[in-house]
């Protein structure tokens, strides 16, 4: 295996590990309707992965964002590049460069409909716990 192929494989493994950790953090706080969109094969993509979920209240939306931040920092040693939307907690975005997490209040998620906007992406849905 060439050096370039090894690097791509290692990078994919790192993304998979981080994606799993983020999804686990969402499930810790009982986040709902979790979807992962793999954008890697799309041209002009803003990132490699979107992880989208929702909370039943603005308090839960904020708690999910806080749990993701702490769990990824503590277990993977990574901090997000940027977090925004915490004031109203209707939509919080946690940006890890290659993985962007969208945590929505249900009505806000329906309004922006990111899954439809990026419908060409590979979609993986996760069970509500």
* pLDDT tens over the chain, length 129 residues: 555 443 443 444 477 899 999 999 999 999 999 999 999 999 999 999 999 999 999 999 999 999 999 999 999 888 999 999 978 889 999 999 999 999 999 999 999 999 999 999 999 999 998
Task: Indicate the burial class of 36 (C-beta count within 10 angstroms; 0-12, 13-18, 19 or more).
Answer: buried
Q: How far apart are CA 118 and CA 46, in angstroms?
A: 11
Tell the burial category of 53 from Cβ atoms under 10 Å away from its Cβ (0-12, 13-18, 19+): buried
**Contact by Cβ (8 Å): 15, 92:** no
Q: Is residue 71 part of a domain?
A: yes
| Any domain includes 20 | yes
Q: Does residue 24 fall inside a structural domain?
A: yes
Q: Is residue 72 part of a domain?
A: yes
Distance between CA 100 and CA 94 in Å, rounded? 6
User: Do the strands 99-104 and 122-125 form a parallel or antiparallel pair, or are they unpaired?
Assistant: unpaired
Residue 81 lies in a domain: yes
CATH of the domain at 85: 3.30.460.10
Domain of residue 80: give its range: 3-124
**How many domains are contained in the chain?**
1
Residue 129 lies in a domain: no
């Amino acid at each position: 295996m060439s050096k370039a192929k090894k690097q791509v494989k290692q990078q994919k493994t790192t993304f998979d590990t981080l994606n799993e950790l983020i999804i686990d953090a969402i499930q810790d706080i009982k986040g709902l309707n979790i979807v992962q969109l793999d954008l890697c094969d799309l041209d002009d993509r803003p990132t490699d992965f979107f992880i989208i979920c929702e909370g039943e209240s603005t308090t839960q939306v904020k708690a999910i964002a806080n749990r993701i931040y702490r769990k990824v920092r503590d277990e993977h040693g990574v901090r997000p590049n940027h977090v925004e939307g915490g004031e109203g907690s209707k939509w919080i975005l946690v940006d890890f460069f290659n993985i962007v997490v969208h945590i929505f209040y249900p009505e806000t998620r329906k309004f922006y409909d990111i899954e439809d906007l990026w419908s060409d992406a590979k979609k993986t849905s996760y069970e509500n716990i």
